[in-house]
C-alpha cells in the first residue's frame, strides 16, 4: 500500500475585479486534491460553490455598487492540512445618482404648511429655493434623505409658485415646482340686521371680517354706506337720512366678495314723528264771489280738512302727506266781514285751525234787526272807548274798518265799557249780535 500524498490548494488569481452593475461576476479556478470551502467577508459579494472536493471553478457575484467609491471584499478558500488562499475582489465605483419622489407639489395657503419629498442619492446633495416664502430643510445631506418644504401664509387671492433645486456633483439637478394655493376667500359681518333711529344722519356700524376685496351697496337712496369697497377687515357705517313717514322702513345692503357667497344686511329705520302743520293760521279772502286763498299743509299723515261755514269750501277735503288746500268763498253781500274756521286734522297729532276772514261787501244800508232805541252805544263819536247797554244777557261785538277788516271781536255784557283808544281816528262799522237779533251801525273814533 502506498501512503497518501500531501493536501494541495491553490487559486488561479489572488485579485480580481467586477463592474459596479448588479450581478457582475468573475471566476477563479481552484486546484486541490482535497475538500475545500470558500467564504466572502462582504454581504454584497456572493460565492458559488461554497465548498467542493478537488479541482473546481469559484464564481463570484456582486450586487450593484450604489456608492460613488470603489469597494473590495476578501474571499478566503480553505482546506485542512494546507494553507488557505485569499482572493481580493475589487468592485468599481457606482455612477452618481440623484432623484426625488415628485417634481410637482401643491401646498395650501395656511402659514407653516409643509410637504415632505424623498431624495434618493448616493452622493452629497444640496437644496435651494428661489422664493423667500418657501423654506427648505435640510440645506444639504448625503445619500438618501427626506427634504421638508415649509411655506409662509399666502395672503393674496392668487396662487403663487416657487422652484426648489436639488443638486449633486456629476449628476443632473432635480427641479421641484411648488404651487401654493390662494387663501380661501372669507367674508363675514358682525350683524345681519341693524336698526337706526328716525333722525337725520342716524348711524350704525358693523364689522366686516375678510381676507379679500369686498364691496358694499345699499338699495335705498336714504341709506348710505361709508365704504363702497375695501380690502380685508374693516368697519362699515350706515348713515340714514330722516324718516319723513310714520312707518318703519327698511333698506338692504349687499356685502360681496369674489369666491364667497354675498351677505345681506337688513337695515331698519324707526318710524318718524307724526307731523301736521299749516303755512298760516289766519287768512283773509276778498268779498267777491269765488275769491280764494291757499294754505300749504306739511304732513306725513293722512289728513282731512273741513269748514264750519257753508259759504266757504275746502279742496281737497282729504289727502296724504304734504299738499295745498284751496279755500273758495261765496260773495259776501253784507256790509260786515265774516269768519269761518277751517280745521285740518289727522290721527295722533294736534289739529290745525285756520281762521278765514272774508272782507265785508260794499257798505250799504245798515241792517238793523235790533231797534236802535233799545240798544244804546255811547259816546259816539268817542276817543277812548264806548259803552253798550239796553240788551239782556251776553252780546257778541265786532268792529270792522272800511275795508272790512275785523279789528275787535269780543263778548260783552249790558252797560260794559269797550276800550277803543288804540284805534286810529276814523269811521268804523259796529256789528252786535244779541239774543234778539243783529245790529249794524257806524262808530266814529275821534
Q: Do the beta carbons of residue 76 and residue 39 sit within 8 Å?
A: yes
Mean pLDDT in residue range 196-203:
94
380 in a structural domain? yes
Same domain, 206 and 149: no
- pLDDT category, 362, cuts 50, 70, 90? low
Mean pLDDT in residue range 334-344:
89
Q: Which DSSP symbol is given to 363?
A: -
- In DSSP terms, 77 is beta-bridged to 38, 85
**Selected residue with higher pLDDT from 402 and 430:** 430
Q: Radius of gyration over alpha carbons of the chain, in Å?
A: 60
Residue-wise pLDDT tens digits, 273-308: 889 999 999 999 998 999 999 999 999 999 999 999
Between CA 305 and CA 314, with CA 310 as vertex, the angle to 5 degrees is 30
- According to DSSP, the β-strands at 140-142 and 124-129 are antiparallel
pLDDT of residue 250: 96
- Whether the bond between 138 and the residue before it is cis, its omega within 30 degrees of 0, is yes
369 in a structural domain? no
- pLDDT category, 24, cuts 50, 70, 90? very high
Whole-angstrom distance, CA of residue 177 vs CA of residue 163: 5
List Cβ neighbours of 2 (8 Å cut-off, separation of 6 or more): none
Mean pLDDT in residue range 27-54:
96
pLDDT of residue 376: 87
Which among 146, 180, 214 is the end of a domain? 180
3 in a structural domain? no
- pLDDT category, 185, cuts 50, 70, 90? confident
Q: Per-residue pLDDT for 363 more than 70? A: no
pLDDT of residue 431: 83
Q: Per-residue pLDDT for 406 more than 90? A: no
Mean pLDDT in residue range 20-37:
96
**Selected residue with higher pLDDT from 197 and 110:** 197
Residue-wise pLDDT tens digits, 213-260: 899 999 999 999 998 999 889 999 999 999 988 889 999 999 999 888
Same domain, 198 and 259: yes
pLDDT of residue 1: 54
Q: Do the beta carbons of residue 297 and residue 344 sit within 8 Å?
A: yes
Same domain, 432 and 411: yes
pLDDT of residue 3: 59
221 in a structural domain? yes
Q: Is the pTM of this model over 0.85?
A: no
Q: Per-residue pLDDT for 355 more than 50? A: yes
Q: Count of residues for the chain?
A: 446
pLDDT of residue 335: 73
- Percent helix, percent strand, percent coil in the chain, to nearest 5: 0, 60, 40
Give the number of other CB atoms < 10 A from CB of residue 308.
Answer: 11
User: What are the CB-based long-range contacts (under 8 Å, 24+) for 377-384?
Assistant: 377/430, 377/441, 377/443, 380/443, 380/444, 381/444, 381/445, 381/446, 382/420, 382/443, 382/444, 382/445, 382/446, 383/421, 383/445, 383/446, 384/419, 384/420, 384/421
The total domain count for the chain is: 5
Same domain, 218 and 257: yes
- Whether the bond between 351 and the residue before it is cis, its omega within 30 degrees of 0, is no
Q: Per-residue pLDDT for 186 more than 80? A: yes
Residue-wise pLDDT tens digits, 203-226: 999 999 998 889 999 999 999 999
- According to DSSP, the β-strands at 276-278 and 291-299 are antiparallel
For residue 82, the domain's CATH number is 2.60.40.10
Which among 164, 180, 196 is the end of a domain? 180
370 in a structural domain? no
Whole-angstrom distance, CA of residue 375 vs CA of residue 391: 6
Residue-wise pLDDT tens digits, 121-132: 999 999 999 999
Whole-angstrom distance, CA of residue 275 vs CA of residue 302: 10
Comparing 16-20, 297-301, 364-368, the range with the smallest average pLDDT is 364-368
Same domain, 103 and 85: no
Q: Is 303 exposed, middle or buried (0-12, 13-18, 19+ CB in 10 A)?
A: buried
- In DSSP terms, 54 is beta-bridged to none
367 in a structural domain? no
Reference 328, options 297, 290, 294, 356; nearest CA is 290
What's the count of helices (H) and strands (E) in the chain, helices before strands?
0, 43
* Burial readout 146-162 (b: 16 or more C-beta within 10 A, e: otherwise): ebebbbbebeebeebeb
Residue-wise pLDDT tens digits, 376-397: 889 999 999 999 988 888 988 8
pLDDT of residue 364: 41
- pLDDT category, 368, cuts 50, 70, 90? very low
Q: Do the beta carbons of residue 93 and residue 68 sit within 8 Å?
A: yes
pLDDT of residue 292: 95
Same domain, 174 and 197: no
Residue-wise pLDDT tens digits, 134-164: 999 999 999 999 999 999 998 877 889 999 9
111 in a structural domain? yes
C-alpha distances in Å from residue 127, one per residue of 147, 150, 170, 307 = 8, 13, 16, 99
Same domain, 131 and 66: no
Mean pLDDT in residue range 389-417:
86
- According to DSSP, the β-strands at 249-257 and 260-269 are antiparallel
Which among 43, 59, 91 is the end of a domain? 91
Residue 337's domain comprises 276-358
339 in a structural domain? yes
Whole-angstrom distance, CA of residue 149 vs CA of residue 254: 41
425 half-sphere exposure, CB direction, 13 A CA radius = 3
List Cβ neighbours of 90 (8 Å cut-off, separation of 6 or more): 15, 16, 17, 18, 70, 71, 72
Distance of CA 42 to the CA centre of its chain: 74
Same domain, 21 and 77: yes
Same domain, 76 and 21: yes
Q: Do the beta carbons of residue 277 and residue 352 sit within 8 Å?
A: yes
Average pLDDT, the chain: 91
Q: Per-residue pLDDT for 366 more than 50? A: no
Residue-wise pLDDT tens digits, 261-270: 999 999 999 9
Same domain, 200 and 263: yes
- pLDDT category, 4, cuts 50, 70, 90? low
Q: Per-residue pLDDT for 96 more than 50? A: yes
Report the first-to-last Cα separation within the chain, whole angstroms. Answer: 197
For residue 430, the domain's CATH number is 2.60.40
pLDDT of residue 2: 57
Amino acid at each position: 500500500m502506498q501512503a497518501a500524498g500531501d493536501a494541495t490548494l491553490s487559486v488561479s488569481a489572488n485579485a480580481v475585479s467586477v463592474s459596479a452593475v448588479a450581478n457582475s461576476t468573475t471566476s477563479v479556478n481552484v486546484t486541490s486534491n482535497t475538500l475545500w470551502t470558500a467564504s466572502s467577508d462582504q454581504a454584497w459579494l456572493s460565492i458559488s460553490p461554497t465548498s467542493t472536493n478537488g479541482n473546481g471553478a469559484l464564481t463570484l457575484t456582486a450586487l450593484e455598487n450604489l456608492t460613488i467609491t470603489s469597494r473590495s471584499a476578501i474571499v478566503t478558500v480553505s482546506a485542512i492540512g494546507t494553507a488557505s488562499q485569499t482572493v481580493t475582489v475589487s468592485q468599481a465605483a457606482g455612477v452618481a445618482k440623484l432623484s426625488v419622489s415628485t417634481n410637482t407639489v401643491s401646498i395650501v395657503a395656511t402659514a407653516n404648511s409643509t410637504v415632505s419629498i424623498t431624495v434618493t442619492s448616493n452622493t452629497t446633495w444640496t437644496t435651494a429655493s428661489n422664493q423667500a416664502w418657501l423654506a427648505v430643510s435640510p440645506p444639504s445631506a448625503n445619500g438618501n434623505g427626506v427634504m421638508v418644504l415649509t411655506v409662509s401664509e399666502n395672503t393674496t387671492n392668487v396662487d403663487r409658485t416657487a422652484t426648489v433645486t436639488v443638486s449633486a456633483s456629476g449628476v443632473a439637478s432635480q427641479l421641484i415646482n411648488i404651487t401654493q394655493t390662494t387663501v380661501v376667500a372669507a367674508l363675514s359681518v358682525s350683524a345681519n340686521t341693524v336698526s337706526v333711529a328716525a333722525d337725520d344722519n342716524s348711524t350704525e356700524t358693523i364689522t366686516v371680517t375678510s381676507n379679500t376685496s369686498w364691496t358694499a351697496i345699499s338699495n335705498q337712496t336714504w341709506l348710505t354706506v361709508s365704504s363702497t369697497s375695501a380690502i380685508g377687515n374693516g368697519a362699515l357705517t350706515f348713515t340714514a337720512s330722516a324718516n319723513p313717514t310714520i312707518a318703519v322702513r327698511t333698506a338692504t345692503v349687499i356685502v360681496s366678495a369674489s369666491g364667497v357667497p354675498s351677505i345681506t344686511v337688513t337695515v331698519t329705520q324707526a318710524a318718524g314723528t307724526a307731523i301736521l302743520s299749516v303755512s298760516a293760521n289766519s287768512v283773509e279772502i276778498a268779498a267777491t264771489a269765488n275769491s280764494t286763498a291757499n294754505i300749504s299743509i306739511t304732513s306725513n299723515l293722512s289728513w282731512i280738512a273741513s269748514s264750519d261755514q257753508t259759504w266757504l269750501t275746502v279742496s281737497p277735503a282729504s289727502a296724504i302727506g304734504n299738499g295745498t288746500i284751496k279755500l273758495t268763498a261765496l260773495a259776501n253781500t253784507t256790509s260786515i266781514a265774516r269768519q269761518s274756521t277751517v280745521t285740518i286734522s289727522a290721527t295722533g297729532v294736534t289739529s290745525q285751525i285756520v281762521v278765514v276772514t272774508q272782507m265785508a261787501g260794499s257798505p250799504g244800508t245798515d241792517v238793523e234787526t235790533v231797534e236802535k232805541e233799545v240798544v244804546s252805544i255811547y259816546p259816539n263819536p268817542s276817543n277812548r272807548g264806548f259803552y253798550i247797554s239796553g240788551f239782556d244777557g251776553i252780546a257778541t261785538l265786532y268792529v270792522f274798518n272800511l275795508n272790512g277788516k275785523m279789528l275787535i271781536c269780543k263778548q260783552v255784557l249790558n252797560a260794559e265799557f269797550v276800550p277803543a283808544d288804540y284805534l286810529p281816528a276814523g269811521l268804523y262799522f259796529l256789528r252786535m249780535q244779541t239774543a234778539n237779533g243783529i245790529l249794524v251801525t257806524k262808530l266814529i273814533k275821534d
